[in-house]
Chain A
Amino acid sequence: MSTESKTPVDDIKPASLWFRIIDSDLFNSFIRKPVIVASAIITLLIFAIALFAPWLAPHTPFNPSSLNLMDGFTPPMTANEFTGNEYLLGTDNQGRDILSAIMYGTRISLFVGFAAVGLAALIGITLGLLAGYKGGWVDGLIMRIADVQLSFPAILLALLIFGVARSILPPRVMDEATVWVLVVSIALSDWVQYARTVRSSTMAEKNKEYVQAARLFGVPAPLILLRHILPNVMGPVLVIGTIGLALAIILESTLSYLGVGIPPTQPSLGTLIRIGQDFLFSGEWWITLFPALTLLTLALSVNLLGDWLRDALNPRLR
């Protein structure tokens, strides 16, 4: 009897979950927009290429011993006049394969982007929960800082933090820690959005009866925050995080372009663009334009996804 009654239940459960996903408004608004589907595919593709760059890239662009200066300035899809080597996207002044450089550069850009978003979200959510739950002067202080910070452009703040780090840290340490300094500067200039959203949700949620009841039963505050309040703010945080990823990638590339970010020994997309700009005037356009197009495609796809997600989760904002 037990086997008979079990089988249909087991059959239905996964099917009904699958059906719930297919039938959900979110999925429907996703599948009906070809642009969004394309953005998702492109984004995932770029993520995969960046993740597996060491195995996918045709060359290892940052190993000086594998570079041949004679290969320098080879235009895309043309044989080099001295060596006869052909590169899909051409080479730079040192004979580095642009395609491989882009793959590795994207890897660094995405790493910084994800790490910065993660750190910003962590800081923002923590402070937001704290401000919303505690209220009083804690709330006042955190939100005042957020207000002041919000009125300054993120780029300025990130530059400043980077500048300070550079002057405090000894040069050798700085060289090794550049990526992390970059992550921290971007995260510190981008946590406010998370904190604001989480704070307002927390304030709305903490006065609901089930939270009041949990408090009366003596459930400790951190547990209430994690179990009851945090799940309610994950939607907006996801939206902010997605748009934040695009912003972080852009910010990282901008800092690197300005020359304060990733050093040329391990170039991110921004560094590649900066290096290539010098050759734009002498006609070697591919050195800077291909990394620029990659950056554009990546930022645009992620932005489109974030934009769609915001509209889909909160139709009123349209």
Chain B
Amino acid sequence: MLAFIIRRLIQSIAVMLTVALISFTLFQFVGDPINNMLGQEASRDDRAELRQRLGLNDPVPIQFVRFVGNAVRGDFGISYRMARPVSTVIMERLPATLELAFVSGLFALTLGIVLGVYTALKRDGWLSNFIMTASLVGVSLPTFVIGILLIYLFAVELQWLPSFGRGELVQITDNWRTGLLTESGRKSLILPAITLGLFQLTLIMRLVRAEMLEVLRTDYIKFARARGLSQRAIHFHHALKNTLLPVITITGLQLGSIIAFAIITETVFQWPGVGLLFITAINFVDIPMMSAYLILIAFIFVIINLIVDLLYFLVDPRLRAEKSGGH
């Protein structure tokens, strides 16, 4: 068990280092940081001095080590565009994205599993067919189109829900302001959360359905039938657990990509999170911001991956026994 965790940790660190290397390369080869910081008309001496001060004259490996060291301490430099430390800006924006991702992930996961199981069990029912067709529409709908349609229906025509922003916020810590505690905050969250979650919802649902159908075809389900167990016991005691096991992995990764997909939703609803920050950074070629976002996303992915692995480990008796040395 311990060896397994250690191996996983080492792999995670390797992934993080790779991503750091990509970010670092961005810094090295894309744009000239001196130009970006001093502007075109700075004098040659000023440039040389800044180069020296930033350590840009050191050998590349040393620069990389320094880059990683800074990143570990949360120092990603100064945003070219906002002239403020990147990490401060990101920490201000992160709660908005995390709240949005969490709510839409919860929405996608619960509804996805329920609908997936339902459509697998009632395979040829009209409601199942309808849900499956609707899910294909869901996959084909680009996220931003869903958002716009929802805005048109619920914000413009019916005027039930706000179409942009986070509503009224409550300060919890220095950096963390939440919209979950006020009514307008919760109302503002509904449309973005649905928009962001719908795609994941269809994916999870289709995955659960496919996996469940696969499990229902296995010998042990046939054998359970042959022993006269009730439909209910077969479906929910025998099949569901086996279905959810592989679903954990892929779903975990999906939840990770929600954070990345938030870029689109945040643009549609002008939701002040890190995704919106990243789009602005790309448009203004704000390299420190881009690379910090990249590292942040990678970090979230790696953490989710680790959690998923551990979870899998705890749920599957085969893995548990193997790794703990039982026979």
B297: Cβ under 8 A from any A Cβ: yes
Give the contact stretch, choosing among B50-58, B94-102, B226-234, B256-264: B256-264
B145 touches A167 (CB 8 A): no
Q: Could you tell me if A254 and B152 are in contact, using CB atoms closer than 8 angstroms?
A: no
Interface stretch of the complex, out of B84-92, B134-142, B235-243, B318-326 = B134-142
Contact partners of A167 in chain B: CB under 8 A: 30-31, 285, 287
Docked complex Cα distance between A37 and B149 (Å): 27
Q: Which of B1-9, B60-68, B275-283 contacts A (4 or more CB under 8 A)?
A: B275-283
- B15 to chain A: closest residue by CB: A148
Contact A292 B148 (CB under 8 A): yes
In the complex, what's the smallest C-beta–C-beta distance from B117 to chain A, in angstroms?
Answer: 17
Is A12 engaged at the interface, CB distance under 8 Å to the other chain? Answer: no
Q: How many A-B residue pairs have CB under 8 A?
A: 105
Question: Roughly how many angstroms separate A285 CA and B267 CA in the complex, as a whole number?
Answer: 19
B298 nearest CB neighbor, chain A only: A152
Please classify the interface of chain B as helix (H, G, I), strand (E, B), loop, or mixed, using the class held by over half of its residues. helix
Give 1 or 0 for each of A199-241: 1 = CB within 8 Å of chain B CB. Answer: 0000000000000000000000000000000000000000000
Instruction: Answer whether residue B163 sits at the interface, using C-beta atoms and an 8 A cutoff.
Output: yes
Interface residues on A, range: 35 or more
User: CB distance B140 to A299 under 8 Å?
Assistant: yes
- Interface presence of A153 (CB below 8 A): yes
A184 interface residue (CB < 8 Å to B): no
User: Which B278-324 residues sit within 8 Å CB-CB of chain A?
Assistant: 278-279, 281-283, 285, 287, 290, 294, 297, 301, 305
Q: In the complex, what residue of chain B is closest to A168 when comparing beta carbons?
A: B30
B264 touches A164 (CB 8 A): no
- Is B148 a contact partner of A156 (Cβ separation < 8 A)? no
Interface size on B, residues (CB 8 A): 41
Which B residues have a C-beta under 8 Å from some C-beta of A?
A: 15, 18, 26, 29-31, 136-137, 139-145, 148-149, 151-152, 156, 163, 253, 257, 260-261, 263-264, 267-268, 278-279, 281-283, 285, 287, 290, 294, 297, 301, 305
Report which A residues bind B (CB closer than 8 A). Answer: 148, 151-153, 155-156, 159-160, 162-164, 166-168, 246, 250, 253-254, 257-260, 270, 273, 277, 280-281, 283, 285, 288-289, 292, 295-296, 299-300, 302-304, 307
Given A296-B145, A300-B140, A302-B140, 16 new contacts (CB under 8 A): A153-B257, A153-B260, A155-B261, A155-B263, A163-B290, A166-B285, A250-B142, A254-B142, A254-B144, A257-B267, A258-B267, A270-B142, A280-B151, A280-B156, A292-B149, A299-B140
User: Which 5 pairs between the two chains have the least Cβ-Cβ distance?
Assistant: A300-B140, A163-B282, A299-B140, A167-B285, A153-B257
